[in-house]
Amino acid sequence: MFLIFAGMEYYPSGGWEDFIGTADSLEAARVVAETQSDGGDDWYHIVSDMKIVENGKIDDVTTYDPYEEKRKAIPTDEHGFELK
């Protein structure tokens, strides 16, 4: 089981206040980060066995349209650089 946490870069709620859901696989956890985080969330952590197994940022990947927003979970390294 994977636990997913997400929040705003400058205003983390802290601990369980940042919890947004669970998933059975890493791929499904990314989908939860993309779809269940609110529009202001900037980061996510995926946790399994009491360890962060992936951290990343959540970006808006649409062209600007105030009525459409699609979020994408993007894995990053420990320095915040995107993993390729």
Q: What is the pLDDT of residue 16?
A: 86
- Please give the pLDDT value at position 84: 65
Domain that holds residue 67: 2-76
What does pLDDT average to in each consecutive run of 10 residues of the chain (84 residues)? 87 79 95 81 89 85 68 79 73
DSSP state of 70: -
Q: Does residue 44 lie within any of the structural domains? A: yes
C-beta of residue 58 within 8 angstroms of C-beta of residue 75 = no
Query: Residue 43 domain-assigned?
Result: yes
Q: How far is CA 29 from CA 20, 59, 66, in A?
A: 10, 16, 26
Asked if residue 60 is part of any domain, the answer here is yes
Give the three-state DSSP class for 17.
Answer: helix
**SS3 of residue 37 by DSSP:** coil
**Within a domain: 14:** yes
Q: What is the pTM of this model?
A: 0.71
Residue 48: its pLDDT value, please? 94
pLDDT score at 7? 84
**pLDDT at 64 (0 to 100):** 67
